[in-house]
């Protein structure tokens, strides 16, 4: 499931491939991913415009196409972007294809169709209406500490709550907690100022490192939990069997020896 690092990687990909080209048509192969806009409406409003720049907040990508017109992309469970030159064929599971002058295309590929495409006029208004918290990559230490100081519950549930901090999903939350050496069920209100500092720096490090590696799982450090999590998985630090627990409705993997309860 695309989390902040994947969406940031899609942003960089879109910025380096699809900006500033005139949109000649929008082909909707499956309108299920369209939200509050019809296939005809989407094409009518975008034809003749260009993707000018983009902005990411949490797991949402916003692409500016005019003064008060943004394309909002959310990648759901399996969404991704693919830029195609004129002789390349779009994937079978492409749901929406943006055609540009010169016959290049940008495909919104989404096998399971939990993704979303919408047109909005104001990004900040959208973020307010959704009640999204600050972005996990740009939040400062003081604000981070304040959020954990004000909310009860498992530290992992707080990391996953998009209304408190936007962008972190199940996989990276486990990785952040592994790096910070904290168990996912740790009660947030029991964490000291130093614990929170450690968690903050682990968050920043994991997200930035994953982006720098373009979220390529084969290139992620072997010392990370991500490539080891799952049944029969062993802790890359101490070699003991990993444990799992359900927290906030999601399966967490952790090492009960390296990650101490607080």
Residues with catalytic roles: 2-3, 59, 250
Q: Which is nearer to Zn ion, 98 or 254 (CB)?
A: 254
Question: Is there binding between residue 255 and Zn ion (CB under 5 A)?
Answer: yes
Phi and psi angles of residue 217, each rounded to the nearest 5 degrees, phi first: -60, -30
State in angstroms the smallest separation of the CB of 244 from Zn ion.
Answer: 14
Q: Which is nearer to Zn ion, 137 or 235 (CB)?
A: 235
Q: Which two tokens stand for residue 247?
A: 């927290």
Residues 128-147 that bind Zn ion (CB under 5 A): none
Question: Is there binding between residue 258 and Zn ion (CB under 5 A)?
Answer: yes
Question: Is there binding between residue 4 and Zn ion (CB under 5 A)?
Answer: no
Question: Is there binding between residue 257 and Zn ion (CB under 5 A)?
Answer: yes
41 Cβ neighbours under 8 A, 6+ residues apart: 119
Q: Which is nearer to Zn ion, 29 or 181 (CB)?
A: 181
Residue 108: how many CA atoms within 13 Å on its side-chain side?
A: 30
Q: Which is nearer to Zn ion, 1 or 258 (CB)?
A: 258
Q: Which is nearer to Zn ion, 20 or 231 (CB)?
A: 231
Phi and psi angles of residue 236, each rounded to the nearest 5 degrees, phi first: -70, -10
Residue 252: how many CA atoms within 13 Å on its side-chain side?
A: 26
Distance CA 236, CA 242 (A): 9
State in angstroms the smallest separation of the CB of 254 from Zn ion.
Answer: 9
Distance CA 227, CA 156 (A): 19
Site string for Zn ion, 213-252 (x = CB under 5 A): ----------------------x-xx--------------
Residues 65-84 that bind Zn ion (CB under 5 A): none
Size of the site for Zn ion (CB under 5 A): 6
Q: What is the DSSP string of 73-125?
A: EE-TTTEEEEEE-TTPPPPTTEEEEEEETTS-EEEEEESS---EEEEES-HHH
Site string for Zn ion, 177-216 (x = CB under 5 A): ----------------------------------------
Question: Is there binding between residue 50 and Zn ion (CB under 5 A)?
Answer: no
Find where tokens 């005019």 sit.
66
Closest CA to 4 of 134, 106, 131: 134
Question: Is there binding between residue 96 and Zn ion (CB under 5 A)?
Answer: no
State in angstroms the smallest separation of the CB of 252 from Zn ion.
Answer: 14
Phi and psi angles of residue 73, each rounded to the nearest 5 degrees, phi first: -120, 130
State in angstroms the smallest separation of the CB of 234 from Zn ion.
Answer: 8
> Do residues 100 and 23 make contact, with C-beta atoms less than 8 angstroms apart?
yes
**Which parts of this chain interact with Zn ion (CB under 5 A)?**
235, 237-238, 255, 257-258
């Amino acid at each position: 499931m695309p989390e902040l690092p994947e969406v940031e990687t899609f942003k960089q990909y879109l910025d380096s491939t699809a900006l500033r080209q005139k949109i000649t048509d929008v082909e909707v192969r499956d309108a299920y991913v369209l939200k509050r806009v019809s296939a005809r409406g989407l094409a009518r409003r975008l034809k003749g415009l260009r993707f000018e720049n983009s902005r990411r907040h949490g797991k949402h990508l916003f692409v500016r196409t005019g003064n008060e017109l943004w394309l909002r992309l959310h990648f759901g469970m399996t969404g991704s972007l693919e830029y195609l030159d004129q002789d390349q064929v779009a994937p079978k599971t492409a749901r929406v294809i943006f055609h540009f002058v010169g016959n290049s295309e940008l495909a919104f590929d989404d096998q399971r169709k939990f993704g979303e495409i919408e047109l909005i006029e104001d990004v900040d208004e959208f973020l307010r209406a959704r009640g999204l918290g600050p972005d996990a990559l740009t939040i400062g230490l003081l604000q981070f500490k304040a959020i954990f100081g004000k909310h009860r519950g498992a530290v992992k549930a707080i990391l996953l709550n998009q209304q408190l901090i936007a962008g972190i999903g199940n996989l990276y939350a486990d990785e952040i907690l592994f790096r910070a050496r904290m168990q996912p069920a740790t009660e947030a209100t029991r964490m000291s100022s130093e614990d929170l500092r450690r968690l903050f720096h682990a968050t920043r490090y994991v997200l930035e490192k994953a982006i720098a590696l373009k979220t390529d799982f084969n290139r992620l450090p072997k010392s990370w939990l991500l490539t080891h999590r799952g049944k029969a998985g062993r802790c890359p630090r101490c070699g003991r069997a990993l444990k799992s627990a359900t927290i906030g409705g999601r399966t967490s993997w952790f090492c009960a020896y390296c990650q101490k309860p607080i």
